[in-house]
Amino acid sequence: MSKIAVVTGASAGVGRATAVLFAQKGFDVALVARGEGGLQAAAKEVEHAGRRAVVLPADVADYEQVESAAAAAEESLGPIDVWVNDAMTTVFAPLGDLDPDDFKRAVEVTFLGQVWGTMAALKRMRPRDRGSIVNVGSALAFIAIPLQAAYCAAKFACRGFFESARAELIHEGSHVRMSMVHLPAVNTPQFDWCETSLPRHPQPVPPIYQPEDVAKFIVEAAHDGRRAKIVGSWNKLLVAAGKVAPGLANQYAARGAWETQLTEEPLSKDRPVNLFDPVDVFNDAGAHGQFDDKAGGFLDPSFLRSLPQTAKTFAAAARATTLEKLERRRR
């Protein structure tokens, strides 16, 4: 009997790479996203791997649409074995420039999309007492950076929701497994179509990884049921430092994570934005964004060349943290 995986955010980026990898591992795949063009292209890739695909257009911020997608997935393919919550959107802007409706929308998709997906999956997996849910997190669920208040808030919330839901399953003695995979910066189309108020084109903070490099950890988590995984050596270091010295993490983010999120390229006036409406309805964006030349992970030469400056930034952040502590004591 075929195994069945549902992947949200499957039309592009990490979701797209994850859906294709599941197919290569022998899963039939239900593809959930808003962009019809991206979904149809993803379905062809799944079918090229010799597996069945079903396209399920849905906005994950709407519970009823997610529930309908889950029902349609089981009707078309069979009982769901794996559910991956990957869909996201974001807004690049200083907090003072954020439109409240934009902030709300980013949180609804990125956070509530995981809540609704988990609820729809559990509704089907709990009675069978089997299945695996993998929620896609981020290093930004541990260390928040400027210009991404909405995304960071949503990912922090995703982590809290995951821990609570997983604890309930343990309390019940359930055999349904929940995992969370926290991603590094990834070269996906989100930077080509996210909302932004900034004059320059956004980019992932180096080191940058390719979608296929991180998709394998999502698929592995679905198989082995690990509780959580932080992907990327650099991110593991930053998360550990943030746990030990959260004030240092704030200072470092303030100094090192503003310019590194921006390219020198001016923002195009006719650039598409997918916050409220999909931009890949007719056109397929694929899994990769425009940063293939930089996506070498921790060993990317450009990232390695930046390490001396990074060390200086850490040193400046450490000095500022010490001064901040001394100032508090004086008060």
63 assigned to active site: no
Name the β-bridge partners of 196. 92
Q: What percent of the chain has pLDDT over 70?
A: 99
The pLDDT of residue 242: 82
List b or e across 220-236, with b for residues whose CB sees 16 or more CB atoms inside 10 angstroms: bbbeeeeebbbbbebbe
The pLDDT of residue 246: 85
Q: Compute CA distances 49 → 15, 41, 44, 267, whole Å.
A: 16, 13, 9, 37
- Burial class of residue 39 (count of CB atoms within 10 Å of its CB; 0-12, 13-18, 19+): buried
- Say if residue 323's pLDDT is above 90: no
The number of folded domains in the chain is: 1
Name the β-bridge partners of 136. 181
| CATH number of the CATH domain containing 325 | 3.40.50.720
The pLDDT of residue 303: 83
pLDDT band for 87, please (50, 70, 90 cuts): very high
- Say if residue 329's pLDDT is above 80: no
Catalytic residue from among 63, 151, 209, 252: 151
- For the segment 286-300, what is each residue's pLDDT rounded down to a tens digit? 999 999 999 988 787
Do 298 and 234 touch, CB atoms closer than 8 A? yes
Q: At residue 201, what are phi and psi to the nearest 5 degrees?
A: -70, 130
pLDDT band for 26, please (50, 70, 90 cuts): very high
Q: At residue 8, what are phi and psi to the nearest 5 degrees?
A: -90, 155
The pLDDT of residue 284: 87
Do 198 and 90 touch, CB atoms closer than 8 A? no
Degrees to nearest 5, angle at CA 179 with 213 and 248: 75
User: Between 237 and 110, where is the model more confident?
Assistant: 110
The pLDDT of residue 65: 98
The pLDDT of residue 319: 83
Cα 55 to Cα 76: distance, rounded to the nearest angstrom: 10
- For the segment 179-207, what is each residue's pLDDT rounded down to a tens digit? 999 999 999 999 999 999 999 999 999 99
Furthest C-alpha separation in the chain: 69
| Token output for 40 | 């149809």
Cα 118 to Cα 66: distance, rounded to the nearest angstrom: 10
Q: Which domain holds residue 184?
A: 3-330
The pLDDT of residue 311: 85
Do 125 and 81 touch, CB atoms closer than 8 A? no
CB count in 10 Å sphere of residue 129: 11
pTM, whole model, 2 decimals?
A: 0.94
- Say if residue 252's pLDDT is above 90: no
The pLDDT of residue 70: 98
Reduce the DSSP state of residue 137 to 3 states and report it: strand
Q: What separation, in Å, do the N-terminal and C-terminal C-alpha atoms of the chain show?
A: 68
Kindly calculate the radius of gyration of the chain based on its CA atoms and give it in whole angstroms.
20
